Amino acid sequence: MRVAVVGATGAVGRTILQILDERAFPLDDLVAFASARSEGVRLGFRDDEVVVRALHDRWFEGVDLALTSAGGAVARQILPAAAAAGTVCVDNSSAFRMDRDVPVVIPEINPEALDGHKGIVANGNCTAITALMALGPLHKRFGLRLLVTSSYQSVSGSGMKGVRELAEQVDKLHEQIETLTRPDPQALPAGEVFGRTIAFNVVPHAERFDPEGSGFTTEELKMGNEVRKVLGIPDLVCSATAVRVPVVAGHAVSIYGRFESPVSPKEAREVLSRAAGLRVVDDPARDQYPTPLDAAGLDDVLVGRVRQPDGDDRALLLFAVGDNLRKGAALNAVQIAELLIER
């Protein structure tokens, strides 16, 4: 099998290469593509190196499976022709997620969605995947009817440029900590990636604001759209808030869900503890709860702070955290590829 990784020099692409190696993914040949400026870059893979090639019009010739992380605009340009030529494409961008003929797949939640795919399979949004890893088993048992989320997203969600901007701003401001109680706006470092200073701050703006004027960002709209599609609940009422936080890796999601059936926190923990790819970290008496640093580098999504609002036995509150580069992107894509091989 010949496998292509498109966008191989980006944060997700590099993590895909790492996970293909870790999981001993069965392949005979690996080719790596990126933009022309990355041509010739050497990336370690297994006990050797792969030389990055510039993406071109016929990149898919001879490629059986492509794992693509080149952004939505590029995906729209290159994947339809590749799929038509017989290359199966697992795409990390948002380009095709809402297309009727393209499944959004989380292998632990809806593997059956791969049945009858037409050559393009969409990876979910990193924050939606984190939430769905907890919501999927709960929905199967209790029936999800209402969802409200607030996500706290690390800077690596914007790629290495986001990580660099945070590091540069921390370096600039760390000797000025006392001044941040009454900062001079003109003295704060400009936020080229996030729109505002991200160091020692939180920014309630992830991606762009909805051009149709809903007041939501496109990142927030993805949550509802993808949860509805993956769980098959087209009438689910969902609202989301997405916040960028000064954390390098790991996305956290605060979840309020209301269900068709009564559910207790104890029952929820029992369901969650049996779910594949999920780890319950929930012992308040011992200060055990999940954080982004706990989840960084892990394949499992961590969930804790499971509790119930007063007077509503059909509602739950919980807190889920996942590594946005692994389960939120690269790992999920490789797991989809493994399922495709099995089928």
321 has a pLDDT exceeding 90: yes
Return the closest-CA partner of residue 62 out of 30, 18, 20, 21: 30
Q: Which two tokens stand for residue 73?
A: 């605009």
Judge whether 59 and 85 are in contact, CB under 8 Å: no
pTM: 0.94
Report the relative pairing of strands 251-259 and 144-153 from DSSP bridges. Answer: antiparallel
Residues marked active site are found at 126, 251
pLDDT digits (tens, 9 = 90+) for 69-88: 999 999 999 999 999 999 99
Instruction: Write out the E strands in the chain.
Output: 2-6, 29-34, 42-45, 48-51, 53-54, 65-68, 88-91, 104-105, 120-123, 144-153, 237-244, 251-259, 278-280, 301-307, 315-322
313 has a pLDDT exceeding 80: yes
Judge whether 231 and 147 are in contact, CB under 8 Å: no
Q: Domains in the chain, ordered, with CATH? A: 2-123+329-342 (3.40.50.720), 128-154+202-323 (3.30.360.10)
Residue with tokens 């389960």: 327
Q: How far apart are CA 312 and CA 83, in angstroms?
A: 48
Confidence of residue 178 (pLDDT cuts 50, 70, 90): confident
175 has a pLDDT exceeding 90: no
Lowest mean pLDDT among 71-85, 109-123, 184-198, 326-340: 184-198
Give me the residues paired with residue 279 across strands: 302
pLDDT digits (tens, 9 = 90+) for 100-110: 999 999 999 99
